[in-house]
Each structure stands twice: as C-alpha cells, then as structure tokens.
C-alpha cells in the first residue's frame, strides 16, 4: 500500500473499514468529531442481518466477539393495535437470522479491535479541498489540517466529505422519531413491559405509532413515530421535558394506557430525531482519491438497514483496497459501482416498507409483511 488511508467518522461504518484494513495489515487513521468514545449514548438495539452486517463482521474477523454480544430472545415480534389488542405475536425460537445487539456494545467491540491511536477524537472536520493528483486536504474545527492520498467519508448524514463528490443534501422525509426510555420496566411499568414483550413491539396507525424494544435489564427503548412537518416539532420546547412529553403523548389520546405510557411515563427526557434522506439514486462520478460509505453515501428512510449497509460498504471497501494495494482507483471504482446498485435497491425497498409501516393500511399491511402475505 503506497498511500495513507484517512477515514472521517468513527461510526459503525468508519470503524468497520479501519478494522478490515487492519486485518489486512493496512494502517488507517480515523478522525472523529466527538471528544471521546463515551461522549454520547449510542442509540438502541440493532438487528444484524445475514446478508450485510454479519458478513461485514466476518470480514472484520469479529464473528465470535459479535456472537458474545447478542441479546438472546430479542428477535420476538409483536404487533398491537391502538387499543392494545395483540394482532401478531411471534416468539424468538432461536431460528431467526437477525440477532439483536446494543449499538453501543457493537461500537465498543470495534473500537477495542483497533490499534491504539487509530482514532483521533475531538477532530471535527470543517472543510475539505482537492489538491490535485488524488490528494486532499482536510481542515478541522481547530484550524489544523491533514493531507491524504485516500480520503473516506464515513461521517454520516451531514458529511463534510460529500461535497467533494456530490451536491446532494439530505431532505426531511416528513416524519420524526421521538426517543424515550422506561427503566426497570418489569417492576416499575409492568403493563408496558407486558405490551412490549420479549423483543420488538410495533403499535402503528397511519402516520404515527410506537416502535419499542426490550433492551438489557428491563429497559424499554421507544421511538414514537410522527408524520408531522419540522415546524410542528419546532413549536415544541424540548428543553421542557414534561411539557414536550405531554405534547407528544397528546397525539395518542385514546390509545391504550400501556402504549401511551411508553412516552408519558418516560424515565428520560424525550429526544426529537428528525429523519432525513438523500435521493434514492444518489451517485457521483469517480473523483480520484476520495469516496463515501454508509449514511454519507446513501442516507435513506429508516428501514432497519442503514447500520448494516454502512458496515457492509466498509467491509467491501476494505477488502477491495487490500486486493488492489497499488491501484486504489480500481478498488474505489468497483466498490462504488456495486454500492450504488445495492443502496438504490435498499432505498427503493425502504420506501415500500415505510408505506407498509405508516401508510393507510397499517397495521394490517405490517402484519402481512411479517406473515409473508402480499
Ligand atoms: C432513529 C433511528 C433508528 C435506526 N435504527 C436502525 C436499525 O435498527 N438498524 C439499522 O441497520 N440502522 C438503523 N438506523 C440507521 C443507522 O443509524 C445509520 O444508517 C448508521 O448509523 C450509519 O452508519 P455510518 O457509520 O454511516 O454513520 P454514523 O453512524 O452517523 O457515524 C458517523 C460518525 O461520523 C462522525 N462525524 C459526523 N460529522 C463529522 C465531522 N464533521 N467530522 C468528524 N466526524 C464527524 C459522527 O460523530 C459519527 O461518529 C437508525 C437510524 C435512526 C435515526
């Protein structure tokens, strides 16, 4: 390998790339905006798919470690209607192909698999510029710079690397999630704990509903989904947790109390997560010395694939660089062409799944999906 690899972003994508390169003896440096590995909590559970996340972890040589993180029983699925009646209930019989892990533990596993000093914490990229002949300069918020012969933007939705390749910017998809948790729920919130069951709960009506997961230690992690314009959320003062909670809960007046309790009795302040997407067919012409992966390349409607695809992109790129150490451009061309097809297909499917989840026929369309109906 004749060039240095600079990765922007220590999310699951950037870390998987650094790890796969390390497995092949190729050093890389990851620059991450956050100050430390514990700067922020890392969101809830992720199911790791057989055709994307799992092969990526295999390429990273971490399958055994990953298996050690799997939360048994969490592949159970329940669908409830707004009255709390159970419409669909599938136990986790151990045969499901998408084991659930905590995102924070998965990230920690990847961090622990890298040589010391691979990650440069507290390095927020403020700009990038082409220097010619495939080299780029990266500028950080503190004014410092690095130059590199291979720059990989794994810096998520608001990538600062993307402008080197594309003018696209994410657009609001018309829906936001509001995140909240109940702790020690079997004891403190037994009705909600029973409603969620052992794994995932879907209680959806057109344009709104609850997605909840049982995590470790009786924690119920909920995303309250609401199709409302950004202005509607902007009018809610989320610094006033009680008032914001009451305002969101009001949207579910008349729903079963064990469901509304997932927001109304939240043990954490509600956190709004506006959802954005890039165009489904987002792609770019090859620019020497730079590429993107994960959300930076193909942020899409939430479809349970984003983290899996970010890891898969990263593993494919790491393997391709290792296969073409003296011809990185060939590696990047191959990877980008395959990624464009893969991500467009996933985004198209995501649009369809989004309609099954939140369209006019939900929750019946959702149950059809789970039962393999039309
Ligand atoms: C509510 C919600 C639920 C989701 N659930 C799932 C799910 O169940 N399954 C699934 O597969 N996907 C899920 N996703 C999608 C998933 O979170 C993303 O697709 C995935 O995190 C993308 O990984 P990434 O590494 O590309 O980017 P990210 O995880 O966004 O990581 C980017 C990293 O870059 C850093 N960074 C950003 N800007 C800069 C900068 N300027 N300078 C330096 N560093 C920077 C960030 O701090 C971050 O560490 C969900 C998303 C949301 C919003």
**Mean pLDDT computed over 202-231:** 95
Q: What is the pLDDT of residue 95?
A: 81
Residue 41 predicted with pLDDT over 80: no
CA dihedral 361, 75, 266, 217 (to 10 degrees): 170
Give burial (CB, 10 Å; 0-12/13-18/19+) of 142.
Answer: exposed
Q: What is the pLDDT of residue 303?
A: 83
Tell me the binding residues: 40, 47, 103, 295
Mutate to test the pocket of ligand 1, among 52, 295, 313, 349 (most ligand atoms within 8 A of CB): 295
- Residue whose CA lies nearest to ligand 1 atom number 27: 156
Distance set, CA 340 to CA 124, 297, 343 (Å): 27, 9, 5
**Mean pLDDT computed over 215-233:** 95
Q: Can you spell out the DSSP letters for 245-269? A: HHHHHHTTTTS-HHHHHHHHT-SS-
Label residues 288-317 b or e (16+ Cβ within 10 Å = b): ebbbbbbbbbbbbbbbebbbbbbbbbbbbb
- The rounded percent of the chain whose pLDDT value lies above 70 is 98
CA dihedral 74, 77, 79, 84 (to 10 degrees): -40
> In terms of CATH architecture, what is 5-72+98-169+279-358?
3-Layer(bba) Sandwich (3.50)
Residue 149 sits at φ, ψ, to 5 deg, of: -95, -10
Helices 257-264 and 241-250, packing angle to 10 deg:
150
Nearest Cα to Cα of residue 257 among 177, 198, 195: 195
Nearest Cα to Cα of residue 170 among 365, 302, 77, 362: 302
Q: How far is the CA of 355 from the centre of ligand 1 (A)?
A: 23
Residue 219 predicted with pLDDT over 60: yes
* Ligand 1 site, CB within 6 A: 8-14, 31-34, 46, 124-125, 154-156, 158, 160, 177, 223, 273, 294-296, 302, 304-308, 310
Residue 374 predicted with pLDDT over 60: no
Q: How confident is the model at residue 4 (pLDDT cuts 50, 70, 90)?
A: confident
pLDDT tens digit sequence for 309-343: 999 999 999 999 999 999 999 999 999 999 999 99
pLDDT tens digit sequence for 124-152: 999 999 999 999 999 999 999 999 999 99
CATH 3.50.50.60 intervals, the chain? 5-72+98-169+279-358
Distance set, CA 110 to CA 19, 37, 115, 132 (Å): 7, 11, 11, 33
CATH 3.30.9.30 intervals, the chain? 171-277
Residue 304 predicted with pLDDT over 90: no
**Mean pLDDT computed over 75-89:** 94
Tell me the C-alpha distance between 259 and 271, whole Å: 18
Measured from the Cα of 34, ligand 1's closest atom is: 47
Q: How far is the CA of 240 from the centre of ligand 1 (A)?
A: 26
Q: What is the pLDDT of residue 372?
A: 82
Mention the CATH class of domain 171-277. Answer: alpha beta
Residue 223 predicted with pLDDT over 60: yes
Q: How confident is the model at residue 2 (pLDDT cuts 50, 70, 90)?
A: low
Q: What is the pLDDT of residue 1?
A: 62
Q: How confident is the model at residue 93 (pLDDT cuts 50, 70, 90)?
A: confident
Mean pLDDT of the chain: 94
Residue 58 sits at φ, ψ, to 5 deg, of: -65, -45
Mutate to test the pocket of ligand 1, among 7, 9, 121, 158 (most ligand atoms within 8 A of CB): 9
- Residue whose CA lies nearest to ligand 1 atom number 51: 302
Give burial (CB, 10 Å; 0-12/13-18/19+) of 242.
Answer: exposed
């Amino acid at each position: 390998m004749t060039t240095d690899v600079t990765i922007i972003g220590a999310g699951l994508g950037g870390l998987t790339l650094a790890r796969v390169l390390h497995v092949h003896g190729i050093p890389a440096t990851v620059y991450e905006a956050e100050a430390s590995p514990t700067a922020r909590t890392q969101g809830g559970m992720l199911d790791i798919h057989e055709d994307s996340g799992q092969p990526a972890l295999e390429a990273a040589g971490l399958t055994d470690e990953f298996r050690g993180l799997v939360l048994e029983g969490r592949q159970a699925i329940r669908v409830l209607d707004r009255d709390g009646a159970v419409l669909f209930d599938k136990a986790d019989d151990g045969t499901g192909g998408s084991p659930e892990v905590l995102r924070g533990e998965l990230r920690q596993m990847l961090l622990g698999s890298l040589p010391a000093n691979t990650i440069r914490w507290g390095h927020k990229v403020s700009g990038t510029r082409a220097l010619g002949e495939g080299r780029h300069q990266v500028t950080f918020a503190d004014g410092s710079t690095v130059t590199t012969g291979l720059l990989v933007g794994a810096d998520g939705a608001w990538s600062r690397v993307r402008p080197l390749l594309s003018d696209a910017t994410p657009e609001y998809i018309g829906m936001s999630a509001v995140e909240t948790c109940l702790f020690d729920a079997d004891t403190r919130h037994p009705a909600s704990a029973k409603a969620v069951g052992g794994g995932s709960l879907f209680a959806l009506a057109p344009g709104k509903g609850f997605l909840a997961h049982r995590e470790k230690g009786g924690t119920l992690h909920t995303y309250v989904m609401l199709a409302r314009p950004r202005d509607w959320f902007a009018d809610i003062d989320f610094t006033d947790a009680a008032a914001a909670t009451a305002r969101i809960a009001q949207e579910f007046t008349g729903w079963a109390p064990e469901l509304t309790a997932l927001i109304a009795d939240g043990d954490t302040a509600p956190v709004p997560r506006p959802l954005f997407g890039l165009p489904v067919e987002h792609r770019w012409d090859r620019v020497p010395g730079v590429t993107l992966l994960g959300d930076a390349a193909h942020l899409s409607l939430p479809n349970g694939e984003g983290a899996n695809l970010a890891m898969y992109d990263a593993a494919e790129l790491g393997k391709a660089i290792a296969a073409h150490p003296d011809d990185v451009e060939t590696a990047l061309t191959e990877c980008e062409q395959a990624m464009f097809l893969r991500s467009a297909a996933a985004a198209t499917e995501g649009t369809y799944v989004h309609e099954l989840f939140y369209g006019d026929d939900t929750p019946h369309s959702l149950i059809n999906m789970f039962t393999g109906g039309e």
